[in-house]
Amino acid sequence: MSTYRAPNVPDKPSLEGLEHKWDAVWREQGTYRFDRSRSRAEIYSIDTPPPTVSGSLHVGHVFSYTHTDLIARYQRMRGREVFYPMGWDDNGLPTERRVQNYFGVRCDPSLPYDPGFTPPHAGEATSVKAADQVPVSRRNFVELCERLTAEDEKQFGALWRRLGLSVDWTQHYQTIDTVARTASQRAFLRNLARGDAYSAEAPGLWDVTFQTAVAQAELEARDYPGHFHRVAFHRPDGGVVHIETTRPELIPACVALVAHPDDERYQHLFGTTVTTPVFGVEVPVLAHPAAEPDKGAGIAMCCTFGDLTDVQWWRELDLPTRSVIGRDGRLLRETPPWLAHEPAATAYADLAGRTTFSAREAMVAHLRESGDLDGEPQPTQRKANFFEKGDKPLEIVTSRQWYIRNGGRDADLRAELLARGAELQFHPDFMRVRYENWVNGLNGDWLISRQRFFGVPIPVWYRLDDEGQPVHEDPLVPDEADLPVDPTSDVPRGYTEDQRDVPGGFTADPDVMDTWATSSLSPQIAGGWERDPDLFERVFPMDLRPQGQDIIRTWLFSTVVRAHLEHGSLPWRHAAISGWILDPDRKKMSKSKGNVVTPMGLLEQHGSDGVRYWAASARLGTDAAFEEGQMKIGRRLAIKVLNVSKFALSMGAVDPDAEVTEPLDRATLAALADVIEEATAAFEAYDHTRALQVTETFFWTFCDDYVELVKDRAYGGHGEQAAASARAALARALDVLLRLLAPFIPFATEEVWSWWRQGSVHRASWPDPAGLRAAAGDADPRLLGVVGTALAGVRKAKSEAKVSQRTEVERVVVAGPAGDMALLEGAASDLRAAGRVADLRLVADGDALAVREATLAPPR
């Protein structure tokens, strides 16, 4: 260990302004810049979550991103070169909605591009009704998306720097830039070539508000008010079969009645037919094990399509398709062919073009008139599927969409993906079951196409036959060298622009990829896949994926799927799962609920170190309350680091190689060596909270007990050799504590480090207990606790007497086990000086150490 330079300690250390000061230094000096010359074994790479750029960050982001930064800082100090980029998730529906509100526009793909377009608003235009938003071309709309996300990214970056995230700002990516589009389209084309991607005309979940297909992972089951209607279907023999339904408007789409094969009430009907009420369409009565005998009448109508069970029955029972709900959420305006006969056509004409709600009322009226409604509708609460960002129940409509195989229909692939989950190290481990439950519960492949505008285009075209109909079975694809492409403006090889959308020519696939289809490639995008092979070889598979628990089913799983299909491996070795931030009502904070707290004010009020302390106080996977009290404690800790460091460094240059001779000094170093081992083990187990607890506990003991005990000796009160021992121990302990605390409170520790050390504490090595143990020799680390307990007893006596702690004590008797008394003898002189005790007596008596007598000196 080399000699430290003479300390340069400010007269009045303060936390104020440290964030701006050190952010500027770190940026100038490239403190966190990734050194790609290191080998893969020496690198720790992080697949940083790209926050959605659609407004502002909230305190939940600060919470989880701090957890990631703790790991990054620890790994860097352990000697690993940390690849820690920042990404921005700026495509998809949230950005589109923000742009619509911000600029007062809406996208109309049929319009031509206007190079001189100026939006009607340049701020939140929330008062503008959707019908009053100005229509613009897709290209104009995308340009506005890019313009607004660029501004949001600047604000996000400023907040992350204020928080002290140690990311390498030269390594960043977007989910919509050229790099991301190229990687996303390349992966898609390879999926397509291998047969992992395919398009199909099939029933799927559809949001009528946003006019887009929705994947299973984006669903939310919510309570939705409705009514049970008991409805009669007619048997050939004149009898009836009653079913109960909450959606009578789907009776014109009915294709069967279904009951459980073991239900004795209906076994005699299996293989027969019934006719639908009002419309008189003949449908079969069939058996299926998914029917629920104890639900309603025990027999249900299968319609195409009311819910996902209908889809299952339709597929497995090979039923016809008779859809009546269109993409706009209204019943088809044209009478379907199976209802073309009378009186069905007349009845349907009354429903045509209506919303599902209005059609339901009309259908109930028809059922009353025909006598097929048994009793009155009964109110109920039913579970309905919603798009997580929507406010109306989803419908199931038939459309052509793109899918990526994910094990939902392939048992072998499902088993492979479950095996990948078993390979992955989850922190905490109990989060693994969420992955497994999701994979086991999949009922279809991953739908990746969206009917939106701001996203990565599906990179395919279709030949048009002589009648102008697209040939979907044989798509035209670009060469990888031509990526990225936008099929709506680019032309496939062998064609010219004038052949677009004409018979015998070609047409573009109009859809974009789901945002998860791009962000699921974040390790590849950030790591330079195919773009920078040298970098990719050094960082992939990555070491860590940090993320929230609620997107295990989306981001984590989909990233595993893409890496498994493309690389035959996991995308990373560890997954660190953060909990949620809860509001005072113990509800999850989220933008959609409107209960979030924005962080900048907190960072300014409590300091970034204080806010980081609050975040670090919660373990991975554990929900935490938003609590400013914890931030105040963190600020107090950071202030104490400054103040105690000022004392420890106030005695001029220190020779850290000076021999540590005094028992208390050596015992303190021995105890600190134990702390290093515990904190290191905790960090290695991804338990940053435990690392903080053991370090902070020792730090306060160090400040409240050790520093007070050795003050007099450090200033020379017991001779020069004893003083040199105290100063060397103070310097060694401070050096270690700054490094142990550096991941948690980076600004205060960097400030103190600069007073007496070269370089950055965040590039210093993580402390090694071996050096402290060598200095401590055979010292018993329990001594610090023993003498601290005795000192606390003396302080208590003074407090109870309501006198100053500087009051002298004539006589103190400390009693306890013989072993403790023998230890305490080695620090008796420090205890007398700290407690201002004239006569200290140690008595080996009793099971617990205690101050039995404290006689205060009479006031002068």
> What pLDDT is recorded for position 564?
98
> Residue 844 is inside which H or E element, if any?
strand 837-844
**What mean pLDDT is predicted for residues 617-625?**
92
Query: Of all residues in the chain, what percent carry a pLDDT higher than 90?
Result: 75
702-707 — which CB contacts under 8 Å span 24+ positions? 702/644, 702/668, 702/672, 702/733, 702/737, 703/640, 703/644, 704/788, 705/784, 705/787, 705/788, 705/791, 705/792, 706/664, 706/668, 706/733, 706/784, 706/788, 707/644, 707/647, 707/648
Mean pLDDT of the chain: 92
> What pLDDT is recorded for position 195?
97
pLDDT by residue (tens digit) across 754-788? 999 999 999 999 999 999 999 999 999 999 999 99
> What pLDDT is recorded for position 544?
98
Please tell me the distance from the alpha carbon of residue 806 to that of residue 270, in angstroms, as a whole number: 95
- Tokens 């047969």 -> residue: 195
pLDDT confidence tier of residue 126, bands split at 50, 70 and 90: low
Sheet-wide strand order for 850-856: 837-844, 809-816, 850-856
Cα 391 to chain centroid distance, Å, stands at 23
Per-residue burial over 380-393, b if 16 or more Cβ lie within 10 Å, else e, is eeeebbbbebbebb
- Whether residue 519 has pLDDT greater than 50: yes
Please tell me the distance from the alpha carbon of residue 569 to that of residue 424, in angstroms, as a whole number: 11
- Whether residue 387 has pLDDT greater than 90: no
**What mean pLDDT is predicted for residues 55-81?**
93
DSSP string, 453-484: SSSPBP--EEEB-TTS-B-TTS-B---GGG-S
Higher pLDDT, 558 or 382: 558
Q: Which of 137-151, 155-169, 383-397, 445-459 has the lowest mean pLDDT?
A: 383-397
State the Cα torsion 446-452-458-462 to the nearest 10°: 110
pLDDT by residue (tens digit) across 197-207? 999 887 878 88
Q: Which two tokens stand for residue 154?
A: 């600047």
> What pLDDT is recorded for position 760?
97
> What pLDDT is recorded for position 51?
87
**What mean pLDDT is predicted for residues 693-697?**
98
Let me know if 766 is exposed, middle or buried by CB neighbors in 10 A (0-12, 13-18, 19+). Answer: buried
> What pLDDT is recorded for position 2?
42
**What mean pLDDT is predicted for residues 271-280?**
96
Please tell me the distance from the alpha carbon of residue 707 to that of residue 528, in angstroms, as a whole number: 51
Indicate the residue type of 659: E
> What pLDDT is recorded for position 315?
83
- Per DSSP bridges, beta strands 134-136 and 105-107 are parallel
pLDDT by residue (tens digit) across 184-198? 999 999 999 999 999
> What pLDDT is recorded for position 109?
80
Which residues, in sequence order, are CB contacts of 350 under 8 Å at separation 6+?
362, 366
Angstrom CA distances, 454 to 71, 451, 805, stand at: 34, 10, 68
> What pLDDT is recorded for position 1?
38
Please tell me the distance from the alpha carbon of residue 707 to that of residue 730, in angstroms, as a whole number: 8
> What pLDDT is recorded for position 130?
67
Please tell me the distance from the alpha carbon of residue 406 to that of residue 445, in angstroms, as a whole number: 5
**Helices 59-77/608-616 angle, 10° precision:** 90
> What pLDDT is recorded for position 3?
45
Helices (H), 702-843: 708-714, 720-741, 746-756, 769-776, 782-800, 818-825, 828-835
- Per DSSP bridges, beta strands 282-287 and 273-275 are antiparallel
- Whether residue 586 has pLDDT greater than 80: no
Backbone angles phi, psi at 382, to 5 degrees: -115, 155
DSSP string, 691-708: HHHHHHHHHHHIIIIIIH
- Whether residue 150 has pLDDT greater than 90: no
Angstrom CA distances, 849 to 787, 795, 805, 819, 844, stand at: 10, 15, 21, 10, 9
Which residues, in sequence order, are CB contacts of 46 under 8 Å at separation 6+?
68, 71, 72, 82, 83, 84, 85, 542, 543, 544, 546
> What pLDDT is recorded for position 594?
65
> What pLDDT is recorded for position 386?
84
pLDDT by residue (tens digit) across 403-442? 999 999 999 999 999 999 999 999 999 999 999 999 999 9
SS3 811: strand
Query: Of all residues in the chain, what percent carry a pLDDT higher than 70?
Result: 96
> What pLDDT is recorded for position 595?
66
> What pLDDT is recorded for position 204?
77
Helices (H), 317-424: 344-349, 356-370, 411-423
> What pLDDT is recorded for position 780?
95
- Whether residue 590 has pLDDT greater than 90: no
**What mean pLDDT is predicted for residues 278-305?**
94
**Helices 608-616/138-163 angle, 10° precision:** 90
Higher pLDDT, 605 or 657: 605
**What mean pLDDT is predicted for residues 322-346?**
93
pLDDT by residue (tens digit) across 460-500? 999 999 999 999 999 999 999 999 999 988 999 999 999 99
- Per DSSP bridges, beta strands 624-625 and 809-816 are unpaired
Q: Which of 69-73, 214-218, 453-457 has the lowest mean pLDDT?
A: 214-218
